[in-house]
Amino acid sequence: MMQCFHWPRPDLNELGSGCHVHLSLWKNDQNVFMGSNKYNYHGMSNTGERFLAGVYHHLPSILAFTAPHPHSYDRIQPNTFTGAYLCWGKENREAPLRTSCPPGVPPDFVSNFEIRSFDGCANPHLGLAAIVNAGIDGLRRGLKLPPPTELNPADCASHERLPHDLLGSVEALAADKIFHELMGDKLVTSVIAMRKAEIEHYAKNPGAVHHLIHRY
């Protein structure tokens, strides 16, 4: 199978190349992510809030799937519109999780959310599976979101930095018992082993990344 490959950040003097994902939730041909007159948490329904809260809660672990290469973290940096801090916001492109109000949606509501910490090195099937499973955990446990971030999170000392490197994401995934349960211990263990092998390989062969950039 051929896969479209975009290197996360081939030139550190330029912004990187992402593979952002937009998701909404549907039931009986109705968007159940969007809020209503009965429940409206910053434009989201109760279902939408709980699903997004699950993604928020597991985001450091999700990065092991959506930013799977050691050089993915050259792209996920502050002030690069990639989402380097653990937060969410409505139409905030510096947040890794952005709720969206596209044309045609009433301004008090949002129709979907975007995850920005996703790049072309990721297996799209595993990346989406990780996001959906995190959302399912949010639904199961009734998780809640913190208040949205309206400003650049880099200017807010209260925001936690997402993992600076792949090892940090792998460690988060290894400690995430929910992911082991929902995605299967065998799959998660295999992903962790593969990520650690790539970390070791590129640490020993720093020039290998340039050969990949040239090839693709």
pLDDT in tens, 193-214: 999 999 998 888 877 666 666 5
CATH number at residue 121: 3.30.590.10
Instruction: With cut-offs at 50, 70 and 90, classify the pLDDT of residue 20.
Output: confident
Q: How far apart are CA 161 and CA 11, in angstroms?
A: 23
pLDDT at 102: 83
DSSP 41: B
Q: What is the pLDDT of residues 38-71, one digit of tens each?
A: 999 999 999 999 999 999 999 999 999 999 998 8
C-alpha 176/C-alpha 61 separation (Å) is 7
pLDDT at res. 78: 86
pLDDT at 82 exceeding the cut of 90:
no
pLDDT, tens only, 113-160: 999 888 888 899 999 999 999 999 999 999 999 999 999 988 987 889
Structural domain total, the chain: 1
Name the residue with higher pLDDT: 18 or 141.
Answer: 141
- pLDDT value, residue 205: 81
CA distances to 17, 36, 96, 193, 199 from 4, in Å: 12, 38, 22, 24, 23
Residue 67 lies inside a defined structural domain of this protein: yes
178/202: higher pLDDT: 178
Burial 107-124 (b: 16+ CB within 10 A, else e): eebbbbbbbbbbbbbbee
Give mean pLDDT, residues 101-106: 85
Q: Is a pLDDT exceeding 60 seen at residue 12? A: no
Residue 27 has phi, psi (to 5 degrees) of -145, 125
What are the CA-CA distances from residue 170 to residues 35, 94, 112, 189 (Å)?
A: 34, 23, 28, 10
Please list the residues that pair with 31 across neighbouring strands: 26
Residue 186 sits in which domain range? 21-215
Q: What is the mean pLDDT of residues 13-30?
A: 81
Confidence at 3, pLDDT banded by 50, 70, 90: very low
Q: How far apart are CA 64 and CA 69, in angstroms?
A: 8
Q: How far apart are CA 211 and CA 165, in angstroms?
A: 21
Does 103 reside within a domain? yes
The yes-or-no verdict on residue 1 having pLDDT over 50 is no
> Is residue 9 domain-resident?
no
Among residues 196, 192, 186, 158, which one has the least CA distance to residue 173? 192
pLDDT band at 2 (very low <50, low <70, confident <90, very high): very low
What is the rounded CA–CA span in Å between residue 198 and residue 210? Answer: 15
Q: Indicate the angle between helix axes 46-66 and 124-141, nearest 10 degrees.
A: 140
In a domain, 91, yes or no: yes
